[in-house]
Amino acid sequence: DQLCLLAMGLAACFFYPELRMPALAVLGVFLFLGALLWWESSRTRMIKQVRKIFARFEGGKRYDKFIESFQVTHRKASWTGIVTTTVGANAVSVLILYIVVSSMGFQAELGALIAAFVVPQLLGRLSPLPAGAGVIEAGMVGFLQANSPMSVEQATIATLLFRSFDTIGPALYGALLHLAFSGRS
């Protein structure tokens, strides 16, 4: 999911030159890390170093379990299915934002909507709050207001409706399904 959002964020740089330098810096860091992880010898050294850090804070066993789970998942996973599902889910989210904005008669270019979705989502992932609550909304409102003809009020309404349909709604029906079927084995 993060990789998909980063790729979408890099694509948004074509529309918004002010995003190019930060995106270039992030891309450089990820290319460097990717190169380090590409070679098995450096990857093995990095895994050992990170394990030492976790062991220092009494998290060595959890880290070992994570690495074991990752290796099993990596062998069994269908990366084509994972990528398709991730791209599809993010495309549906952007489509929901587009439908919300256009159904209310507000004006915004598709590039602005994509960037208004991607950039705050990436920032929200850094927040300790569930689903980036507050960070994503503020980022979306600010981005939509600054990069489209929408007023602050219109951007706020569009953002809150979008978040309701994209995050809160699925969480509620997911909780209901979980409650309905959790007692069955």
Statement: residue 184 has pLDDT above 70: no
Please give the helix or strand (H or E) that residue 16 lies within, else none. Answer: none
Give the pLDDT confidence of 112-159 residue by residue, as tens digits.
Answer: 898 899 888 888 887 888 878 888 999 999 999 998 999 999 999 999
Q: How many CA atoms does the CB half-sphere of 17 hold within 13 Å?
A: 0
Judge whether 89 and 3 are in contact, CB under 8 Å: no
Q: Is 52 exposed, middle or buried (0-12, 13-18, 19+ CB in 10 A)?
A: exposed
Secondary structure letter of residue 39 according to DSSP? S
pLDDT of residue 17: 78
- Radius of gyration of the chain from its Cα atoms, rounded to whole angstroms: 20
- Indicate the pLDDT class of residue 101, thresholds 50, 70 and 90: very high
The whole-number average pLDDT for the span 167-178 is: 88
